[in-house]
């Protein structure tokens, strides 16, 4: 595996990319998120600990599908905190992280630790935090990957209501911040409960990170395994509503020997494939972080356009409740707003947020006047982030060769040194500061010449002549020459009467 530093990032280029990405997010994207109320309609703003966190693997499944057993098998940890039984045993969300000694950190304390990316979980309340723990273990793989174990998904409404927190929203929050999502199924229990179905539907937006695991497959023979595999793929296709289904790993992920030896070769191969995918997570962490920020920037861009469109449709005067009435009308006729925004900004249907989710959040939004009147400046900033800053950042990663028809980079293969990235930004900042200083100096010069021309025109003329030959003002020589051309050449040609002459003339008149 790749070498990992204390905060979970691989040494060298990956750490440089993530640090620069953090600067771009905090400086460009995050202010627009806060300004546009993006957090009310989507996930809250990202934190520094989330951007610098180790890759996370989230395990979701119904009870007794082998989630905890898989974590124990991968990490090789024999801990008393891993309660493995035939009946439902895991009743808490448990993050398994690396540390020097074994200990458990409760939820309230875990959200306050700056090294852990779980401060955002405090939004789900104390009832959830009492069901969240962080298990610290000293295992080599935990230096690079963090595992999150979840309670078994229930099937009855009574158990769902008694949780005390929204299980689906918690899973959605964890899924959006995970690098790999494993959906576990038991080969003997293929029924998918309503709650599990809702959880799968809620993480559709992270479908590229989802993998399916058909566990306990060694307990059935080959003929029945084919039937089980086909039935599971059919059920998942109906839930995901897509012809492409996620990668399916078939096996038995524990240390015991296989009960059915017929499929030992197949099960061992899928074991190796799953382990290899886990090993690849730290190598690609910087690319995934960039992908997350770009996807978030596109979502903010669409959100800004929707907010500006809704704000423009409000009446100028909100007397007699007209504004509230118009807000309710727009919330109910949101598809028309979607169509208008897609046509005006040329957005694809897949770029738009889920209609029902956005409508639900819009109903609880107090005042549409909180949206911006115009989003042109913010749109330009986001376009610059996506089209200029991110490509320059991705050039640090390299790995893609340049076309023979195009201009090759000086380093070859599209590679850019990290120091060049920082120096270019510093050069642009220096250019901006030089221009600001130049215009300030020009303004002071104009004011000084104007005052001198009013008080003593002869002295001002001499100053202009001396300034034309000054080496520091070489860029201003054309302008000084023009001023000198139109300046009177003799004191008698001046149209401005000096102050001391005007004072003497007035005194003589009075006498």
Q: What is the pLDDT of residue 503?
A: 46
Average pLDDT, the chain: 79
CA 407 to each of CA 395, 400, 404, 413: distance values in angstroms, whole numbers, following the listed order: 14, 14, 8, 10
Region 455-479: what's the mean pLDDT? 64
187 contacts 217 by C-beta, under 8 angstroms: yes
Region 24-48: what's the mean pLDDT? 88
In this prediction, residue 25 has a pLDDT band, given cuts at 50, 70 and 90, of very high
Q: What is the pLDDT of residue 380?
A: 92
Q: Report the percent of the chain where pLDDT is more than 90.
A: 31
CB atoms within 10 A of CB 406: 8
- pLDDT value at 178 more than 80: yes
Q: What is the pLDDT of residue 155?
A: 63
CA-CA distance, 511 to 495, in Å (whole number)?
26
- Specify the residue for token string 């929203």: 169
Region 340-345: what's the mean pLDDT? 92
CA 151 to each of CA 57, 64, 123, 158, 224: distance values in angstroms, whole numbers, following the listed order: 15, 10, 19, 16, 28
Q: Which region among 171-175, 209-213, 431-435 has the lowest average model confidence (pLDDT)? A: 431-435
Higher pLDDT, 167 or 466: 167
Q: Which region among 171-185, 348-362, 406-420 has the lowest average model confidence (pLDDT)? A: 406-420
395 contacts 292 by C-beta, under 8 angstroms: no
Pure H helices in 162-284: 167-176, 194-202, 222-240, 264-280
- pLDDT value at 82 more than 90: no
Q: What is the pLDDT of residue 471?
A: 62
Q: Which two tokens stand for residue 316?
A: 């100028």
First to last CA, the chain: 101
Cβ-proximal residues to 76 (8 Å cutoff; 6+ apart), any chain: 139, 141
Higher pLDDT, 315 or 51: 51
In this prediction, residue 485 has a pLDDT band, given cuts at 50, 70 and 90, of low
Region 334-355: what's the mean pLDDT? 91
Sign, CA dihedral 33-37-42-43, equals positive
CA-CA distance, 144 to 139, in Å (whole number)?
10
- pLDDT value at 59 more than 80: yes
Q: Which domains does the chain have, with CATH numbers?
A: 1-9+20-46+285-416 (1.10.268.20), 56-280 (3.40.50.300), 438-510 (no CATH)
Q: Which region among 75-79, 122-126, 311-315, 444-448 has the lowest average model confidence (pLDDT)? A: 444-448
Q: What is the pLDDT of residue 142?
A: 93
- pLDDT value at 494 more than 60: no
Region 21-28: what's the mean pLDDT? 92
Beta bridge partners of 248: 212
Region 407-414: what's the mean pLDDT? 47
Confidence (pTM): 0.73
- pLDDT value at 154 more than 80: no
Query: What length is written for the chain?
Result: 511
Region 205-211: what's the mean pLDDT? 87
Region 173-193: what's the mean pLDDT? 90
Q: What is the pLDDT of residue 491?
A: 46
Region 447-474: what's the mean pLDDT? 64
Sign, CA dihedral 377-381-384-387, equals negative
């Amino acid at each position: 595996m790749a070498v990992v530093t204390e905060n979970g990032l691989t040494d060298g280029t990956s750490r440089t990319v993530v640090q620069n990405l953090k600067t771009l997010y905090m400086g460009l994207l995050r202010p627009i998120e806060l300004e546009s109320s993006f957090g009310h309609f989507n996930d809250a703003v990202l934190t520094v600990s989330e951007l610098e966190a180790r890759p996370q693997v989230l395990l979701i499944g119904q009870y007794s599908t082998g989630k905890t057993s898989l974590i124990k098998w991968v990490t090789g940890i024999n801990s008393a905190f891993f309660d493995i039984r035939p009946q439902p045993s895991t009743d808490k969300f448990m993050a398994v992280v690396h540390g020097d000694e074994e200990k458990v950190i409760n939820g309230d304390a875990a959200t306050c630790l700056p090294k852990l990316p779980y401060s955002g979980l405090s939004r789900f309340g104390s009832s959830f935090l009492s069901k969240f723990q962080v298990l610290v273990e000293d295992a080599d793989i935990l230096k690079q990957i963090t595992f999150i174990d979840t309670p078994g998904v229930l099937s009855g409404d009574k158990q769902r209501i008694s949780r005390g927190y929204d299980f689906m929203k918690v899973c959605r929050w964890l899924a959006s911040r995970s690098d790999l999502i494993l959906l576990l199924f038991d080969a003997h229990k293929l029924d998918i409960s309503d709650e599990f179905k809702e959880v799968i539907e809620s993480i559709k937006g992270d479908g590229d990170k989802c993998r399916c695991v058909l566990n306990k497959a060694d307990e059935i023979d080959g003929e029945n395994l084919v039937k089980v595999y086909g039935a599971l793929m059919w059920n998942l296709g109906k839930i995901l509503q897509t012809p492409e289904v996620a990668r399916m790993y078939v096996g038995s992920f524990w240390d015991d020997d296989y009960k059915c030896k017929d499929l030992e070769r197949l099960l061992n191969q899928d074991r190796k494939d799953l382990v290899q995918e886990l090993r690849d997570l730290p190598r690609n962490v910087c690319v995934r972080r960039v992908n997350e920020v770009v996807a978030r920037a596109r979502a903010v861009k669409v959100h800004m356009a929707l907010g500006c469109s809704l704000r423009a449709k409000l009446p100028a005067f909100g007397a007699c409740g007209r504004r509230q009435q118009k807000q309710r009308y727009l919330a109910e006729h949101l598809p028309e707003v979607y169509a208008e925004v897609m046509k005006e900004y040329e957005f694809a249907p897949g770029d738009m947020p889920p209609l029902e989710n956005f409508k639900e959040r819009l109903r609880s939004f107090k005042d549409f006047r909180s949206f911006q009147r115009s989003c042109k400046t913010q749109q330009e900033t986001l376009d610059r982030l996506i089209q200029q800053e991110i490509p320059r950042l991705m050039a640090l990663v390299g790995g893609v060769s340049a076309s023979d028809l195009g201009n090759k980079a000086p380093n070859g293969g599209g590679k850019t040194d990290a120091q060049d990235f920082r120096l270019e930004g510093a050069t642009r900042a220096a250019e901006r500061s030089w221009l600001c200083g130049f215009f300030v100096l020009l303004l002071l010069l104009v004011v000084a010449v104007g005052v001198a021309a009013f008080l003593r025109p002869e002295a001002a003329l001499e100053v202009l002549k001396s300034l034309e030959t000054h080496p520091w003002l070489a860029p201003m020589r054309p302008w000084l020459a023009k001023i000198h051309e139109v300046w009177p050449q003799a004191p008698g040609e001046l149209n401005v009467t000096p102050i001391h002459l005007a004072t003497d003339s007035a005194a003589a008149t009075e006498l």
